[in-house]
Chain A
Amino acid sequence: MKRREFLRSMTALAASTAITAPAIFSAAKAASRKETLLLVTENGPNNLDIHGIGTNRPGYETSWNCYDRLITHEKKTLSDGSISYDRDKLKGELADDMNIGDMSVTFKLKKNAKFHDGTPVTANDVKWSFDRAVSVGGFPTVQMKAGSLVKKEQFVVVDDATFRVDFIKKDRLTVPDLAVIVPGIYNSGLLKKHVTEKDSWALEYTKVNTAGSGAYKVVSWKPGVETIYERFDDWVGGEKPEIQRVIWRTIPSAGNRRALMERGDADISFDLPAKDFSEMKKEGKLKMISNPIGNGMYSLELNVVHPPFNNEKIRQAIAYAIPYDKIISAAIFGVGNPLFGGSSNDVSTIAWPQPTAYKTDMAKAKALMAESGAGAIDTTISFDLGDAVNSEPIAELIQESLAQIDIKTTINKVPGSNWRSEMAKKTMPMMVNFFSGWLDYPEYFFFWCYSGQNAIFNTPSYVSAEMDAFIDGARAAAAVGDKESYSTDVKGFISKAWHEVPRVPLFQPFLNVATQKNISGYCYWFHRQVDYRSIVKA
Chain B
Amino acid sequence: MLATIGKRLVTVIPTLIGVIIVTFLLTRVLPGDPAVYFAGPAATPQSIADIRKQLGFDRPLPEQFLRYVNDLAHGNFGNSLSTGRPVSTEITSRLPASAELTLTGLLLSMLIAVPLGVLAAVRQGSWIDHLCRIVATVGVSLPVFFTGLLLVYIFYFRLGWAPAPIGRLDVFYTAPAQYTGFYLIDSLLTGDFEAFRAALSQLLLPALTLGIFSLAPIARMTRASMLAVLASDFVRTARASGLKTSTVIITYAFRNAMLPVVTTLGMVFSFLLGANVLVEKVFAWPGIGSYAVEALIASDFAPVQGFVLTMAILYVALNMAIDVLYGIIDPRVRLEG
Q: Does B6 contact A (CB under 8 A)?
A: no
A520 to B197, CA, bound (A): 34
Contact of A253 among B44, B108, B284 (CB under 8 A): B284
* Contacting residue for A417 out of B37, B40, B171, CB 8 A: B37
Tell me if A251 counts as interface (CB < 8 A to partner B). yes
- A146 sits at the interface (CB 8 A): yes
Stretch of A218-226, A369-377, A490-498 contacting B (4+ beta carbons < 8 Å): A218-226
Whether the Cβ atoms of A53 and B81 lie closer than 8 Å is: yes
Interface check A1, CB cutoff 8 A: yes
B22 CB, nearest partner CB in chain A, Å: 20
Contact B167 A225, beta carbon cutoff 8 Å = yes
Q: Pick the residue among B39, B83, B255 that contacts A139 (CB under 8 A).
A: B39
Cβ B282 vs Cβ A256 within 8 A: yes
- Say whether A208 contacts B171, CB under 8 Å: no
Q: B123 at interface (Cβ–Cβ under 8 A)?
A: no
Given contacts A46-B83, A223-B83, contact A138 B170 (CB under 8 A): no
B28 at the interface (CB under 8 A from A): no
Chain A nearest CB, measured from B284 CB (Å):
5
Given A29-B172, A137-B50, A143-B42, answer yes or no on A225-B152 (Cβ-Cβ < 8 Å): no
Question: Which interface class (under 10, 10 to 19, 20 to 34, 35 or more) fits B?
Answer: 35 or more
**Interface mask (A460-489 → B, CB under 8 Å = 1, otherwise 0):** 000000000000000000000000000000
B153: interface (CB < 8 Å): yes
Whether the pair A52, B164 counts as a contact (CB closer than 8 A) is: no
Closest CB in chain A relative to B30 CB, distance in Å: 8
Tell me which of B34, B45, B153, B297 has the highest count of chain A C-beta atoms within 10 A of its own C-beta: B297
Given A3-B331, A25-B170, A223-B85, answer yes or no on A54-B37 (Cβ-Cβ < 8 Å).
Answer: yes
* Chain B residues closer than 8 Å to A266, beta-carbon distance: 164
Does A262 sit at the interface, judged by CB under 8 A?
Answer: yes
Flag if B36 contacts A424 (CB, 8 Å): yes
Residues of B within 8 A of A47 (CB): 84
Could you say which of B50, B84, B170 contacts A223, with CB atoms under 8 Å apart?
B84
* Residues of chain A contacted by B32 (CB below 8 angstroms): 415, 417-418, 421
CA distance A54 to B291 in the complex (A): 17
Interface 0/1 of B74-115, CB less than 8 Å to A:
000000111111000010010000000000000110110000
Q: Quick check: B197 and A138 within 8 Å, CB to CB? A: no
> Nearest Cβ distance between residue B164 and chain A, in whole angstroms?
4
Query: Is the pair A256, B171 in contact by a Cβ cutoff of 8 Å?
Result: no
The answer to the question of A420 belonging to the interface, with a C-beta cut-off of 8 Å to chain B, is: yes
Our pick among A142, A252, A263 for the contact of B47 (Cβ within 8 Å) is: A142
Nearest Cβ distance between residue A12 and chain B, in whole angstroms?
A: 13
In the complex, chain A residues whose CB is within 8 Å of the CB of B161:
22-23
Q: Given A23-B204, A25-B201, A146-B42, list of 19 further CB < 8 A pairs?
A: A3-B330, A17-B107, A17-B108, A23-B197, A23-B201, A36-B172, A52-B84, A54-B40, A137-B51, A138-B50, A223-B80, A224-B83, A225-B167, A251-B165, A253-B149, A415-B297, A417-B32, A417-B296, A417-B297
- Interchain Cβ contacts under 8 Å between A and B, 17 examples: A6-B329, A7-B329, A23-B204, A25-B201, A26-B194, A28-B172, A40-B166, A138-B50, A138-B51, A223-B80, A249-B166, A250-B284, A253-B149, A255-B152, A259-B153, A417-B296, A418-B32
Residues of chain B whose beta carbon lies under 8 Å from any beta carbon of chain A: 31-34, 36-48, 50-51, 54-55, 80-85, 90, 93, 107-108, 110-111, 149, 152-153, 156-157, 160-167, 170-172, 194, 197-198, 200-201, 204, 255, 281-284, 286, 290-291, 294, 296-299, 328-331
Task: Identify the 6 closest CB pairs spanning chains A and B, nearest first.
Answer: A54-B38, A23-B201, A223-B83, A417-B32, A137-B50, A139-B40
